[in-house]
Amino acid sequence: MKLSEMLKLGFKGFKPSDIKTINESGINTDEVIKLAESGYSIADVNELISLAGNDESVQPGNEAPADQQGPVDHAGSEGENSENNYNEKLSAQSQEIENLKAQLKAVQLQNSTRNLGGADPKDPRKEVQEIFRQIY
């Protein structure tokens, strides 16, 4: 790993121990730098490193194991029930949005009518007279 790559990772928030772990894992540092620039955290990169170390069957050219299954689609089995759940969640969220809008409006009204000048507003003319009394 080059010093410039180490500095780039350091600027992205990686600690020296994290950089050492990345270097020891044998993963291309350019990929790690791209992940860091994309907003991945140190924990995310470490998790990807551990996944890459555990699963070598994902490498190009290797055949997939026979016991590995693809993603399972549970949405198709539920059908109409999932649509009802979706509608219920949507209506609950829209109700929550309306409640939050009402609360926001009430707080904005309260803030707009608040006296920001203090408890006892003073007359500017009296302040100027007081200043001249202190001078003479």
Would you state the pLDDT for residue 97? 96
For residues 1 and 31, is the Cβ–Cβ distance under 8 A?
no
pLDDT at 76 over 90: no
Kindly report the number of other CB atoms within 10 A of residue 9's CB atom: 23
For residue 24, what is the enclosing H or E element? helix 16-25
pLDDT mean over 7-27: 80
Residue type, 40: Y
Joined together, the tokens standing for residue 42 give 């140190």
Which tops the pLDDT comparison, 70 or 28? 28
Which tops the pLDDT comparison, 39 or 125? 125
Domain residue ranges of the chain, discontinuous segments joined by +: 3-54
Kindly report the number of other CB atoms within 10 A of residue 81's CB atom: 9
Separation of CA 103 from chain center: 25
pLDDT in tens, 96-135: 999 999 999 999 999 888 777 665 667 889 999 999 999 8
Would you state the pLDDT for residue 94? 94
